[in-house]
């Protein structure tokens, strides 16, 4: 299946942008549309014949680079197509330099590679490419705080990828293979020292990129200081790729328990920090920490429903955060600042569609029934048996609700003159609609791919959490939460220290079990 070499399409269009910078945005849009067509071909092939495996150049698996298209590929390539279209429409009337479009093309190319990648070293190379792209994208407007943020991001993820490469080296030394499938067969059931150390190294490396608390402390600054489009791409795709790699690693290595513990830590701490932040983009970034916790807990349970639920949650969160960052960017530009009080006070200035998008995105983030993250959570909590884990998952959901409650007023229609439907038909609002559609029709879309979800029974607990969160906020917490939690942990030096210490913790947890 040559179609799996979709990344090459974006590298080609990237070089075309280099040749004809004047048509950069047109080339990008065409590239995204073409990739959509290729993904459609792959999808139909997937539904007819099942997972697609292809080794580049026609070599055997042992010596070539394998690309693999399965359920993960299906969901995430669909997400990438939607996000790509939304972003290129959003950018259409903003006159970016051709440099930005070049980065954008390469960005999508490396994203598709990571979605299909099944070779450990290919993952490393594509990840590093993605790191450099994200680094340049964050620093593109060249404000000092963005430059500093992207430097922090680069240093942290370079350390992470160094650890990952060490793990790959040890693994290669023992198995003589880089292909994940072959390695998984070779180490099945073995718990030797080299399996433990290499999996700990690789998980730490990926944890830096995936947005896990204590490991990727670059994330809040990178999300909230970069321009809206870049934040949407980072939150919607870049960090999710490390999540995919974690899913793939968890299928091969004995890392269940450590992922479970990491999930609990990142969920609870991220949720707490989200409650104590007072800026729209800060809240979304810290809640991203909390939301990756669901995936890790799902992987840690290593039940099929849990893994599917975690993956669906990842996709859903990608859709929602990118919508929130795009709509939030428009709202913040209209209001002039991102703090909660400012947004609520001046909400009339924000365009109605942006406000609707914010409202739906925030509701979805809190786990409102029918909206995307809810689906993943239902599958997830169905797969968990241990009581303490149920309690932790509920706690994470509760913190998520409390964090976003005070932002909900933004969505109210305050004056009658501006109704939701009389908005201007700009390309920007088209991109919001493009992202809103899959969010609203998420459940039927998921059902179409053959995943059974029983929503009826599971309505009670999430609604109780939702209601109790809202009540808790208005009755108890509203006046009490004013300060912020210690910010030192976001400092570069502390971030490196927690990252290295986190490696030892992961190692211990893998070794003990």
> 152: which 2 tokens?
């922090």
65 sits near other proteins (criterion: CB under 8 A): yes
Which of the stretches 97-105, 247-255, 365-373, 383-391 binds other proteins when contact is defined by CB under 8 A?
A: 97-105
Helix and strand totals (H; E) in the chain: 22, 2
Return the residues of window 75-94 that contact other proteins according to CB under 8 A: none
Could you tell me the CA-to-CA distances from 452 to 47, 394, 447 in Å, in that order?
A: 16, 23, 6
Q: How far is the CB of 225 from other proteins (least distance, A)?
A: 9
Return the residues of window 110-169 that contact other proteins according to CB under 8 A: 110, 113, 121-122, 124-126, 128-129, 131-133, 135-136, 139, 142, 144-145, 147-148, 150-151, 154-155, 158-159, 162, 165-166, 169
Count of residues engaged in binding other proteins, rule: CB under 8 A: 79
33 sits near other proteins (criterion: CB under 8 A): no
Distance CA(53)–CA(68), nearest Å, equals: 5
The phi, psi pair for 69, rounded to 5°, reads: -120, 110
Q: How far is the CB of 57 from other proteins (least distance, A)?
A: 4
56 sits near other proteins (criterion: CB under 8 A): yes
Nearer to other proteins, 172 or 276 (CB): 172
26 sits near other proteins (criterion: CB under 8 A): no
276 sits near other proteins (criterion: CB under 8 A): no
486 sits near other proteins (criterion: CB under 8 A): no
Nearer to other proteins, 182 or 380 (CB): 182
Q: Which of 26, 25, 27 is nearest to 9 (CA)?
A: 27
Which of the stretches 54-62, 304-312, 407-415, 429-437 binds other proteins when contact is defined by CB under 8 A?
A: 54-62
DSSP alpha helices (H): ranges in 93-238?
98-116, 120-138, 144-175, 180-186, 193-210, 219-225, 228-233
Distance CA(143)–CA(237), nearest Å, equals: 24
Return the residues of window 335-364 that contact other proteins according to CB under 8 A: 336-337, 339, 342
Nearer to other proteins, 144 or 444 (CB): 144
Q: How far is the CB of 488 from other proteins (least distance, A)?
A: 8
Q: How far is the CB of 153 from other proteins (least distance, A)?
A: 10
477 sits near other proteins (criterion: CB under 8 A): no
Instruction: Classify 96 in phi/psi space as left (phi over 0), alpha (psi -120 to 50) or beta.
Output: beta
Which of the stretches 44-52, 61-69, 415-423, 462-470 binds other proteins when contact is defined by CB under 8 A?
A: 61-69
Nearer to other proteins, 116 or 273 (CB): 116
Q: How far is the CB of 502 from other proteins (least distance, A)?
A: 10
- DSSP letters for 227-243: -HHHHHHIIIIIHHHHH
* Contact pattern from residue 187 through residue 206 relative to other proteins, giving x for each residue in contact according to CB under 8 A and a dash for the rest: -----xxx-xx---------
Distance CA(281)–CA(225), nearest Å, equals: 9
Judge whether 384 and 378 are in contact, CB under 8 Å.
no
Close Cβ partners of 142 (under 8 Å, ≥ 6 residues apart): none
Q: How far is the CB of 131 from other proteins (least distance, A)?
A: 8
Q: Which of 315, 352, 346 is nearest to 428 (CA)?
A: 352
Q: How many CB atoms lie within 10 A of CB 18?
A: 14
503 sits near other proteins (criterion: CB under 8 A): yes
Distance CA(513)–CA(501), nearest Å, equals: 19
234 sits near other proteins (criterion: CB under 8 A): no
């Amino acid at each position: 299946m040559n179609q799996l070499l979709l990344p090459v399409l974006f590298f080609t269009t990237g070089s075309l942008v280099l040749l004809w910078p004047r048509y950069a945005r047109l080339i990008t849009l065409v590239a995204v549309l073409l990739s959509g067509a290729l993904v459609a071909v792959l999808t139909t092939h997937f539904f007819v014949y099942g997972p697609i495996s292809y080794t580049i150049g026609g070599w055997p698996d042992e010596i070539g680079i394998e690309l693999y298209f399965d359920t993960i590929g299906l969901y995430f390539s669909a997400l990438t197509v939607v996000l790509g279209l939304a972003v290129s429409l959003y950018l259409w009337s903003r006159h970016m330099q051709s440099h930005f479009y070049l980065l954008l093309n390469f960005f999508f190319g490396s994203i598709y590679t990571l979605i299909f990648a099944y070779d450990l070293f290919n993952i490393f190379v594509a990840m590093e490419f993605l790191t450099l792209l994200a680094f340049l994208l964050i620093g593109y407007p060249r404000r000092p705080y963005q430059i500093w943020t992207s430097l922090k991001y680069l240093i942290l993820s370079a350390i992470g990828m160094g650890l990952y490469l060490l793990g790959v080296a040890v693994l290669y030394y023992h198995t003589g293979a880089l292909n994940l499938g072959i390695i998984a067969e070779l180490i099945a059931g073995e718990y030797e020292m080299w399996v433990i150390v290499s999996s700990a190294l690789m998980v730490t490396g990926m944890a830096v990129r995936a947005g896990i608390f204590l490991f990727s402390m670059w994330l809040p600054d990178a999300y909230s200081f970069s321009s809206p489009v870049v934040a949407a791409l980072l939150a919607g795709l870049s960090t999710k790729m490390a999540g995919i790699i974690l899913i793939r690693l968890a299928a091969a290595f004995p890392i269940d328990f450590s992922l479970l513990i990491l999930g609990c830590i990142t969920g609870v701490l991220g949720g707490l920090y989200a409650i104590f932040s007072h800026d729209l983009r800060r809240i979304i970034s810290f809640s991203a920490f909390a939301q990756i916790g669901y995936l890790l807990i799902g992987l840690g349970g290593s039940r099929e429903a849990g893994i599917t639920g975690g993956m669906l949650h990842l996709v859903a969160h990608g859709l929602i955060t990118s919508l929130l960052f795009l709509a939030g960017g428009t709202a913040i530009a209209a209001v002039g600042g991102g703090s909660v009080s400012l947004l609520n006070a001046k909400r009339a200035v924000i365009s109605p569609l942006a406000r609707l998008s914010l409202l739906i995105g925030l509701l979805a983030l809190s786990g409102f029934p029918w909206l995307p993250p809810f689906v993943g959570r239902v599958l997830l909590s169905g797969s968990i048996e241990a009581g303490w884990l149920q309690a932790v998952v509920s706690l994470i959901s509760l913190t998520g609700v409390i964090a976003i409650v005070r932002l909900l007023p933004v969505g109210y229609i305050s004056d009658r003159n501006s109704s939701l439907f009389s908005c201007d038909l700009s390309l920007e609002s088209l991109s919001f609609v493009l992202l809103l559609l899959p969010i609203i029709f998420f459940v039927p879309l998921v059902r179409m791919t053959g995943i059974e979800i029983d929503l009826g029974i599971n309505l009670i607990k999430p609604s109780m959490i939702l209601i109790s969160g809202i009540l808790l906020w208005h009755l108890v917490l509203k006046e009490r939460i004013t300060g912020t939690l210690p910010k030192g942990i976001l400092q570069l030096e502390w971030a490196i220290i927690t990252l290295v210490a986190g490696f030892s913790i992961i190692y211990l947890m893998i070794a003990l079990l």
